[in-house]
Structure 1
Amino acid sequence: MKSDATIQKEVQDELKWQPLLNATEIGVAVKNGIVTLSGQVDSYTKKLAAEKAAKRIGGVKAVAEDIKVAYYGNRVKTDAEIAEAVVNALKWHSAVQEEKIKIKVDDGVVTLDGEVDWDYQRTNAKTAIENLTGVKLVVNLIGVKPKVKSSDVTQGIKDALLRSANSDAGRIRVDVIGSKVILSGFVRSFAEKEDAETAAWAAPGVITLESNLVVAEPEFSMID
């Protein structure tokens, strides 16, 4: 099992490897496998890139992200300008039901609300606006309308996990209560945890996901 010092160094090295980032702007602290990122960057895209870089490192159990976003000069935008850009970005995205999404912008923080048919539409709405200048944070409150039976969702998720090269389906338990999916068990890495969660979210009609997956060494983790 990696020590906190080893994880810290590997996260720092991964940040240095990212062409979009200036690693000197980002602080990295690790305690019990939990990584805390701090500092200040000049775009929301960089904030997300730093978080994703940390999650790629083996041994990372969770990432607490406390990076601030600050814009300067002509990159500073009013909330009205940001709102207009968000509307246009959603309108021009073919995989987003923009007519079902409500938008609120407050000091650069964009809140999306509404209800769509699939989780990928909810996710695409967020990713469509993450790179817009002036955006400091995206709060995605978009819900997914339930469409199928719980038994179908359960089997669909299990099948997806079995197809995934990165997921050990035998160590993951899937329970579905209405439109809520509960994942429990053990995974080998933070990346595998995210893959399992992505597979669950991909099921039609999933509105809520409760992930109780634990990142642990395979030889010490078994499901009864």
Structure 2
Amino acid sequence: MDAAHLGVTAQDGVVCLMGYVDDFGQKHAAEIAAGRVKGVKAVVEEIEVRLPADHLWNDDEIAKRAVDRLAWHDVDPGYDVHIKVEKGWMTLSGHVTWHFQKEAAEADVRHVLGVVGLDNQILIKPKVSVSNVSDDITHALHRSWFFDPTSITLSVDAGAVRLDGTVHSPHERQVAAATAWASPGVTAVENNLSII
């Protein structure tokens, strides 16, 4: 990424990214990079996407390229993703079976030339029963080196998982959420874990 046109300010753990980049993928990468820095509590992202002349595509061309990219991952009968493009802003909708499919669909289209913004509204509709989701997540967390059952509690309601409690780092918070998402039947994760 060319960071020549980006500016950064930081105060009390809140980082503000400003400036412009050549494509949406760079904008996303800057936001992710800023969020990984130790001590960052929030990222305010004010980066503008200024497409070079050779990247200016009509919405129908952008949509066609996105459909072609998603076709490579359409291997699950439960995978049903729809694309809408308006003035370079892409919206994904539909449903998938797993959270990783939702993330993969977004990653696939993020670098399509001409995209200036992306809204992922894909829903997760599991194929399996959610009756044992809480037990599955608890057992998986017990295998994590940081898990302390007295500091993390979880509740499950029809596939929606809520994590409460405390962890020691942003990485532990992320691992706990990823563990919850990896359990069959999970449709949403509300990560309320605080970092101490």
CA distance in 1, matches of 2:78, 2:86: 20
Give, in angstroms, the shift of residue 153 of structure 1. Answer: 1.4
Aligned to 1:169: 147
CA distance in 2, matches of 1:107, 1:181: 36
2:65 aligned with 1:90, yes or no?
A: no
Aligned to 1:33: 13
Which amino acid is 1:34 matched to? V
Deviations along 1:59-116, whole A, 9 cap, x unmatched?
2222222211110211111111100000000002366669611110011111111111
Which amino acid is 1:153 matched to? V
Deviations along 1:152-200, whole A, 9 cap, x unmatched?
21222223333345xx221322211112111111222323322222222
Which of residues 121, 139, 143 is equivalent to 1:159?
139
Matches within 5 A, 1:7-86: 20-22=1-3, 24-86=4-66
2:87 aligned with 1:107, yes or no?
A: yes
CA distance in 2, matches of 1:142, 1:207: 11
CA distance in 1, matches of 2:192, 2:138: 16
SS at match of 2:63: helix
Q: 1:96 to 1:30 in 2, by over 3 A?
A: farther
As a proportion of its length, which structure holds more strand?
A: 2
TM-score, L = length of structure 1? 0.78
| CA RMSD, 1 decimal | 2.1
Structure 1 unmatched runs, 5+: 1-19, 217-224
Aligned to 2:184: 204
Deviations along 1:44-70, whole A, 9 cap, x unmatched?
111121112112211222222221111
TM-score, L = length of structure 2? 0.88
Structure 2 unmatched runs, 5+: none
Aligned residues: 194
CA distance in 1, matches of 2:49, 2:77: 28
Aligned to 2:112: 132
Aligned to 1:185: 165
Work out the percentage of aligned pairs sharing the same amino acid: 39
CA distance in 2, matches of 1:211, 1:99: 25
Q: Is the 8 A contact 1:33 1:60 kept in 2?
A: yes
SS at match of 2:92: strand
Q: Is the 8 A contact 1:103 1:113 kept in 2?
A: yes
Which amino acid is 2:183 matched to? A
CA distance in 1, matches of 2:2, 2:175: 24
Moved more, 94-103 or 168-177: 94-103
Q: Is the 8 A contact 1:95 1:124 kept in 2?
A: no
CA distance in 2, matches of 1:39, 1:48: 13
